[in-house]
Every structure is written in C-alpha cells, then in structure tokens.
Amino acid sequence: MNGARWLAQALVAEGVDTLFGYPGGAIMPFYDALYDVPQLKHVLVRHEQGAAFAANGYARASGRVGVCVATSGPGATNLFTGIADALVDSVPMVAITGQVPTALMGTDAFQELDVFGMSFPMVKHSFIVRSVDELPRIVGEAFRIARSGRPGPVLIDLPKDVQNADASHLPAHVPAEVEPPDAPKDASLHEALALISLAQRPVIYGGGGIALGDAVQDFRTFVDATQIPTVLTLKGLGALPSKHPLNLGMLGMHGSRAANLAVQEADLLIVVGARFDDRATGKLAEFAPQARVVHMDLDACEIGKLRVADAGVRGDIRTTLAKLTLPCAAHLHGRNGAARKAWRSQCQHRALQHAPRYDAPGSTVYAPALLKQLSETAPEAFVVCDVGQHQMWVAQHWQMDHPRKHLTSGALGAMGFGLPAAIGAQLQDRDAQVICVSGDGSIQMNLQELATLRRYNLPVKIVLLDNQALGMVRQWQELFFDKRYSEIDLTDNPDFIALAQAFGIEALHVERAEDVDAALDALLRTPGPALLHVAIDTAANVWPLVPPNRNNAQMIDDTAATMEAAHALPA
C-alpha cells in the first residue's frame, strides 16, 4: 500500500466512479495503482484540456464532483483552462497533478513547474502534498471544499515520491462532512418581503445559483405562487421551462426584447442566484434604473458587489425561497394587485409580440429554426454548447426544461468546451441523450476528442454549424469595426464529413432547409456517435444585440435603420 494506491481507494470512498486523464512520468505511480482498482473508470482523453472539460461537463450534468488527472509540467498547465472555467462557473472539481519528487522541487527538473503557485487564481484552494501522512487530511479537505458553499475546483499537486511512499499505516479514507449552507437571517427576509409587497412592476431575475443550490423546484413554486414575470441568465436557463407563461426569456446582450424591456421598466428586481454579470446588465449604470433590488445569494461576496442591494438575503436559496413563497404570494395578491396584474399582462403581451419567427426566407438552413426543432424532437436531451454564435442561438431558441441539461461555458467563454464536456455529460449517464452543438471554429479547438468518443462508443450527437468563419467575431467586425474583417476567414476548413469518418464517427451533411427533417431524424436514429454537418450562411447574425456601452433597452436587430445606427456606434 503506497500513497498512490491509498489515493485511488480514497477516491472510491469519496464516491468517484469516473475520472478523466492522460498519463505521464510524474503521475505514473497513480496510473499503476488504477490498474488494480476496477471501481474507478478512467477515461483516456487525447489532450489534458479535454480531461478538464470532460470532468467539468460530468460535474455540471450530475452535480457531483468531477475529477481530472494529468502529469507535471505541460500536463498540468493544459488542465488550467478547464479548471478556470470551473471556477468562474462554480463547478465542483478536483484536479490531481503529478509533480517531480520533493527532493527535486525547485531545481528546474524535467517537466517541473510551480503548479501549486500557478493555480492560485483559478481554484477555490490548492494543495501540495509533501508527505504521505498528509494525504488523508488533504484529500478529505479537497473534496469538502469543492462541494461546499459555492462549488468550485480544487487542485492537489502530488510529488512522485509521495505517490511511492509507504502508506500501509494510513487509515481507510472517510469523506469529510460538508456543512449545510447557512439559513437566511429572519431580518433580511422581512426586508425582502416588505419591498416585494410594495412593488407594482416586479421582475424575478434568476441565475445559475438556482441549480447550484438544488433549488429548481423551489424557484418554480415561488414563480407560480407570486405570478411575477421572470427573466433568466445564460446559466439560469431551464430554471423555469422555456414555455412557462411567465418566462420572458434570457436577458442581456443577446436576450429577448421582452426580458430586457421588462427589466429596464421594473420597479423591483428579485435577484435569485445571479451576479449582475456584464453580459446580462449591459451598461451597468443604466441597468434597471427605476428598480430597487432584493438580492438572494449563498455567496455574501456577490451581494452588493456590482449593484447595491436594498435587501440582501444571504443564505441557502432553497430555504430563502421556501420561507418567502407563501408570505409573498399573500401580499402580492392583495395591495397593488390590479397594477401588478396589468404589468404581468403587458410583459406577456410583449413576449408574444416579439416572439422569434422561424419562417426565414430562402432555401438554406436557418440555424435558429433547426435548433428549436431539434430541441422539440429530443426534449429530454442534454445540450452542450461551444462558444460563439451557435451558443447564443441555443440559448435563445432551445426549449429547455432544466438548467443541468444546458451545459455551456458561461463566464469564461472557452472555445473547445463542447465536445469534451459532452463526453463528460454522457459518461455521468450512459442512457442519457446528449447533443453537442458546435461551430466550425470551436470544434477544431478539441477535435482530437472524436477519438475518445469513438473509443468508448459514446452515443453523443454533434451538430456542427459551419459558416466558414469565426462567426461572433465576424459579426462584431461587421457592426462595430466598419466591416474590416480581420482573421475570421475559415473558408479553408477541412472536410468535416471525411474527418469524422476518419475517426470512425458516422457523419451526415445538410445544406437545404427542406432536408432538415430527414437529417435530424437520421442523426438521432444513429445508434452510436454521429456528426451532422450543417452549412449555414456566413452572413447570418445573432439578433437582437445590445451594442457596447448601451443599456438593455437599446437593442438592435437586422433592419436597415438599426444596422445604420450600429455602424455609427463607437467600438
């Protein structure tokens, strides 16, 4: 029983069943230990960034801790983008990196880097194990920290000699207890209730903290009881079903008109697990200018960070919503009831008035229509996005019913997230339907993971929207840089069909709208992994759009007048 074998058994005790990694010299004792621990399913990715994103996707979809493993030096640094993504999107992860023996640390040994120090800005906590006797404490703390409070990534840097050291005297691992989140203070609940009871134009503004706090059902109960119009952030999508009559859609840069206008006219924002991200607020100084704010969040650092909260409710979101639901409902259906009813009707009318249209003219594929149709054809699917125009089209048009079924790199916006994260989502539930939506730019960031998909025969379905450009950058250059298109041309893309087939992946192609039905049917009926290559118009843009340094009411769309106005805007 050496340190590496003890660690492998400790992972089993922590409930880990799957880990993603890539072996190398400094982590080799741990990989030797895995040989004798069949309870741990190791997934061999083809790049360490793929390991981090796969663990990230596994954790987002399941709510459990994702685990990734790499060797020292470049193996560890290749994990960092996926670890950083987990930090800013609050994803529970534990990353284990090999390190040179302790006697060689600080000598510029082969593949030695200060991974412990480099990781500080992108983790909740970082450990370096200097003695085998530290393993029980460090492993227990790592998983406790990753799970507790606002979740996030933790790194364990593990020198090779510690892995090889005798661990026969160590006790069997017992997971550390995770303390329950604090309950909200009664005084803060009374302050929130007082503001809510006075509001005539309230809006609920829900974010990613709803899913993180396991509060989806409590949130829906609160919305139904109060009958308050609701907007959602990118990470909050699905907290209220897309077709719910009070769901006005996503707010922010590419949010719906109904959502953005409601927020700008509201006299009260009830913020639930959201953080006033700049992509949601637009010009912060002009965001919801008439509204007072009730801010509910587990993380005290978020309350008042960007927008002063008139009532800050710090604590467990489930408990907060449960305690406020009945009192709020009672107050809202009394005083100011007529005004609130008129406000609700106005918001719902706007949602119908500005609902997306899917009858685009022409014979080519219209991406929003295809994505909406696919979401309705596969209503139980997890949708995993890369970053770019396709990410926003999914956010706008996919019919979502739960936030854990929408996996996207939100705050970091990391291209290359989609394919490996889809692998992680599939491995947390082999029977789930997982669909990866990617773009021709994003998919080439981690294209090598098609080999991982094939090796484990995972039935992930990839929808590749190919506009032969870096679409979101091209759109901004069109609108705000006088059409000076700089380094966005991807007309020399490879033959994605042939490329997928070279990896052993079934592949299809569609370029005409009339063929979409058959193509989606064929994609979903393919028993294993499959890729649908979709040719779309290079000039297609994501609408509406809030331009830079504008408030959310100043949205532009594809009409000639607003296009002309957009060209006049400063960069």
Residues marked as catalytic: 48, 110-111, 160, 472
Distance CA 530, CA 536 (A): 19
Instruction: Give the 3-state secondary structure of 439-477.
Output: ECCHHHHCHHHHHHHHHCCCCCEEEEEECCECHHHHHHH
Q: Which token pair is 28?
A: 């080799």
Tell me the CB-side half-sphere exposure of residue 480, using CA atoms within 13 A.
Answer: 14
Q: Which token pair is 188?
A: 């803060």
In angstroms and rounded to an integer, the radius of gyration of the C-alpha atoms of the chain is 25
Find all residues with CB under 8 Å of 349, minimum gap 6, and list them.
Answer: none
Query: What are the helix and strand counts (H, E) for the chain?
Result: 23, 18
Distance CA 192, CA 295 (A): 8
Dihedrals phi, psi of 293, to nearest 5 degrees: -130, 125
Find all residues with CB under 8 Å of 495, minimum gap 6, and list them.
Answer: none
Distance CA 238, CA 375 (A): 13
Q: Determine the residue type at 114.
A: D
Distance between first and last Cα of the chain:
61
Instruction: Give the 3-state secondary structure of 265-296.
Output: HCCEEEEECCCCCHHHHCCHHHCCCCCEEEEE
Distance CA 512, CA 518 (A): 11
Q: At 186, is the secondary structure helix, strand, or coil?
A: helix
